[in-house]
Structures are given as structure tokens and as C-alpha cells.
Amino acid sequence: MLPEFQSVRAKTKAEALSAVSTLEHVKIIAGGTDLMVRMRRGELCTHIVDISGLSEIRGIETNGPMIVVGAGATHRDVSMSRIINENVPSLSRACGQVGSPQIRNMGTIGGNLVNASPAADSLAPLLIHDASLILESEGGTREERLEDFIVRPYETSIRDDEMLSFIHIKPLKGYREGYKRVTKRATWSISRLSVAWAIKEEGGCYMDVKIAVGSCTPMPFRAKEVEQFLVGRNIEEGVIREAGKMIVDEIRRITGERPSFVYKLPVLKGILHEVLRG
Amino acid sequence: MKNIKFTLNGKTVKLEVRDNETLLHTLRERLDVKSVKEGCSIGECGVCTVLIDNEPHCSCLTLASKVDGHDVKTVEFLGSEEALHPLQEAFIRAGAVQCGYCTPGMLLSAYSLLLRTKDPTDDEIREAISGNLCRCTGYIQIIEAVKDVAGISECKG
């Protein structure tokens, strides 16, 4: 059974923003795939604002050089979108692997970000694209970089009176990019390890490299030391091996030693090797 | 409380639901649709699957108020005991039903796939039923059953 609460079904963004600014102990619900589970475990709130009917924040569009994804787009919307598939293929792959068909039909990309699980599939691809988030309240709109948005695992900078409405993504032209995750079973599983990458090469040399790793550190992170190390270097075994060593060291420095690392870190090295070799 | 109106298996339903009522509860306890079951309650097992606007959803994680204005289908939509749907017939022929607990949800996920894809590949079938756990059959018979009816014309939303 769910705890008692009052719900408001917002029909417009303005209605949703007004509700979150005036109601007490309020939570926003979209797909419900995280919040419903938490409430069933006893997480309390007195009010729920249901934004699943807001078509205003569900679209996926291009706006000049930018891709704008509505926070209410479901994982299915994102993974099936031609715009995302062509411009942000790592995100397309990541959202296509979240949970199960049922979960992808329900869960939204905005919910994935606000829930801020260390294993959230959409995070690593959005990090390599330097995504930023549009947060709206009755008082105004602010834009925050995804990297700054997540403060701690399951904690973000979003205020109680704010709603995440859009995600801005910059396509990476001329890069080969992808997303790979390791799970205990093929579907309906939480990522134990995930890697998103975008690599630009020319003449046997790395011109630019962007790598984000999920589920190894408290928050998915950009392996910036490795990225910088690789730029300008030749695509060769020694360099790739050194990059693998660096990324493992960086993760150990952030997280300390974890029992799962005996398995995870050699696998990560293997994935990185595959990815960098191309 | 919220007044909602939705289509359930082709018929219009109007009722008042509590704000914290799940669709699963509404279907089972108030509308007597017992084919939809409660399993894990956290969206992992798929026995609570219903089709909302022809797409599979977990009714255990869906607030009843959300389906206001939408179309909901349970396995009762497919066929009756007297007149089974070809997909149900195929499940029986292939031995795709053992304990039967997962079957309503499994049928709905397969049916939803067939609405979208006339002649699905094995991979597409596997993907479509990947959110429905079956602990009896090992899935092979289920995949065979879906392949058996692929392309037939009865799969219409």
C-alpha cells in the first residue's frame, strides 16, 4: 500500500509550477518507476504533482546547434527518436537499455536525472555531451550543467519549487560514439558498470576523447585525466594500456577500494581497450 | 478522490479513485479483473502488465488517476474462455503456459509487439517479452507461440 497523499494532475507547465511552489511536502511524479517504489517503502510526502500529461515538456527537437529534449520524454521516446539516434547515439543506446519495455514506456529521462542514481543509464552519455538542464520555477528559469546538478548520489541541486523541464545537448560531429553497459542479466537489470564514449581520430592519432563511466563512483564521472592524456597521442597498444591504468587509478582515488572492483575494474579496462582501439 | 473515465477492454469505465490508488488495485479489487496480478510490486516481474494505449505498463507503479482519458487493456480483451484469441491458442499449442501466473502479462506484451510489428524476428520477440519473467517455461515455447501467430490479421488495437 502507498502512504496517503493528495495528488494534482497538472495540465500545463504553469499549473505544475504553481502547484510545486504553493503545496507543502510536494513531490513531482512523471513515470513513477522510482518514486512509486520509494513511496511504497515508506517515503512520505503530502502532495504529488503528476506531470505525465504535460505534452509541453515531452518533445525532442533541434534548436540551432542544440538538441532540446523534454524532461517528460520517456526512455522509449528518446531511444526511438530519429534526432537522438542521429545526433546523440550514445544516449539512444543507453535509453534503449533501461529496465524493461514496461519501464521504458513509463520512466522519463528527466526522472532518471532527478533521481540521480549512480547507475542511471542516461547520465554517462549526457556527461560526454556536456548537457545542461533547464530548471523552472514560478520565480524564473535557470540553466545548470549536468556535472554540477548532481551533488551526491540520489541528491541534486533542484529546489522544492522547481521542475526540470528541458535538457540541452550539444551533438558531437565527426566523433564515433557509443554506450556499453555490464549487467547481471541482459534486461531488467541495473547497470553494474557503464561507459559512454565519443572519440575523434585523424591519421592514427586521437584528436579528442570524451569518456564517462557510470556505476563505479558515487556519481557517473568524466575521466578527464585520461581524456587529456590521450589527446594528440598515437592510437597504439602502449597508450591504450596506460589509459586503462589511469582510469582505474582515478576511480580508486575517488571511491576507495570496493569489493566489486576485483571484477569491475578489469572489465572496465577491457571495455576501454576495445573502445580506444576502435 | 478523483473522478476518472477510461476505456477498459473496449468499454467506458467511470469511477472515483483515491489519490494514492494504484491501477493494479483499481483493476483487481474494484473492477474484479483478476488476471492482472501483484508480483514484486516494484516493476521488475511484469505480472501486473496492462496495455495503456496499446503499450505495456506496470499497473503496480501506475496511479489509477493517470489513466483518465486513456485506453487500458487486460488479457480479457484478447479473448474469452469460449473464444480464445489465436495468440492464446498458440500459447496452449506450444506448451507456453505452465503455472500460468505470468501468462496474462506475457500475452499482453506479445500482443502489443504484434500490433506494431507484423512479422517480428526472434530478437524482437525476446526484447518485447523481456519485461515479463517466467520461471516455468524457459521462454522457448513462448517465443515459438508468438512466431506461430505472427502475421495473422486478428492483432488489431
What confidence score (pLDDT) does residue B37 get?
A: 97
DSSP string, A232-264: T-B--HHHHHHHHHHHHHHHHHHH---TTHHHH
The cell numbers describing B36, all together, are: 492482472
A5–B19 CB contact, under 8 Å: yes
Q: Is B57 on the interface with A (CB under 8 A)?
A: yes
The cell numbers describing A171, all together, are: 551533438
Q: Residue A22 pLDDT more than 90?
A: yes
- Band of pLDDT at residue A108, cut at 50, 70 and 90: very high
DSSP string, A197-215: EEEEEETTEEEEEEEEEES
Q: Among B98, B83, B101, which residue's Cα sits nearest to residue B145?
A: B98
The contacts found for B50-53 with CB under 8 angstroms, 24 or more apart, are: B50/B23, B50/B74, B50/B108, B51/B77, B51/B108, B51/B111, B51/B112, B52/A105
Task: Give A109-174 as a 3 state SS string.
Answer: HHHHHHHCCCCCCCHHHHHHCCCEEEEEECCEEEEEEHHHHEEECCEECCCCCCEEEEEEECCCCC
Per-residue pLDDT tens digits for B124-155: 999 999 999 999 988 999 999 999 998 665 55
Please name the residue that has the C-alpha cell 550539444: A170
Cβ pair A73, A98 in contact under 8 A:
no
What confidence score (pLDDT) does residue B77 get?
A: 97
Per-residue pLDDT tens digits for B63-97: 999 999 999 999 999 999 899 999 999 999 999 99
Give A-chain residues touching B125 at CB under 8 angstroms. none
Cβ pair A146, A133 in contact under 8 A:
yes
CATH 3.30.470.20, domain B86-149, yes or no: no
Give A-chain residues touching B57 at CB under 8 angstroms. 102, 105-106
Per-residue pLDDT tens digits for A219-234: 888 999 999 999 999 9
Distance from CA of A36 to the nearest CA of B (A): 6
B43–A3 CB contact, under 8 Å: no
Per-residue pLDDT tens digits for B27-71: 999 999 999 999 999 999 999 999 999 999 999 999 999 999 999
Q: Residue B156 pLDDT more than 60?
A: no
Per-residue pLDDT tens digits for A26-76: 999 999 999 999 999 988 889 999 999 999 999 999 999 999 999 999 999
Measure the CA–CA gap between A123 and A101, rounded to whole angstroms: 19
Give the amino acid at A122. Answer: S
What confidence score (pLDDT) does residue A186 get?
A: 63
Q: Residue A166 pLDDT more than 90?
A: yes
* CA dist B60 → A51, A188, A252 (Å): 18, 16, 39
Q: Is A40 on the interface with B (CB under 8 A)?
A: yes
Q: Is A29 on the interface with B (CB under 8 A)?
A: yes
Measure the CA–CA gap between A220 and A123, rounded to whole angstroms: 7
> Which member of B41, B61, B127 has the closest CB to residue A106?
B61
- Band of pLDDT at residue A82, cut at 50, 70 and 90: very high
What confidence score (pLDDT) does residue A261 get?
A: 82
What confidence score (pLDDT) does residue A127 get?
A: 96
The contacts found for A178-186 with CB under 8 angstroms, 24 or more apart, are: A178/A89, A178/A90, A178/A93, A178/A275, A179/A89, A179/A90, A179/A91, A179/A93, A179/A94, A179/A97, A179/A121, A179/A124, A179/A125, A180/A271, A180/A275, A181/A94, A181/A97, A181/A121, A181/A214, A182/A264, A182/A267, A182/A271, A186/B130
Distance from CA of A99 to the nearest CA of B (A): 8
Beta-bridged to residue A135, according to DSSP, are A142, A164
- Which residues lie closer than 8 Å to A44 by C-beta, 6 or more apart? A3, A5, A25
CATH 3.20.20.60, domain B2-77, yes or no: no
Q: Residue B25 pLDDT more than 70?
A: yes
Give A-chain residues touching B46 at CB under 8 angstroms. 100, 102
What confidence score (pLDDT) does residue B155 get?
A: 58
Residue of B nearest to A50 (CA): B66
In terms of pLDDT, which residue wins out, A99 or A136?
A: A136
Annotated domain spans of chain B: 2-77, 86-149
Cβ pair B92, B100 in contact under 8 A:
no
Burial A226-260 (b: 16+ CB within 10 A, else e): bbebbeeeebeeebbeebbebbbebbeeeeeeeee
ipTM of the complex: 0.94
Cβ pair B128, B112 in contact under 8 A:
yes
What confidence score (pLDDT) does residue B121 get?
A: 94
Measure the CA–CA gap between B127 and A98, rounded to whole angstroms: 12
Q: Which of B25, B63, B125, B134 to mutate to test the interface with A (most CBs of A within 10 A)?
A: B63
B58 in the Ramachandran plot: left (φ > 0), alpha (ψ -120 to 50) or beta? beta
B68–A9 CB contact, under 8 Å: yes
> Which member of B44, B57, B63 has the closest CB to residue A7?
B63
Is there a shared CATH topology between the B2-77 domain and the B86-149 domain? no
Burial A57-89 (b: 16+ CB within 10 A, else e): bbebeeeeeebbbbbbbbbbbbbbbebbeebbb
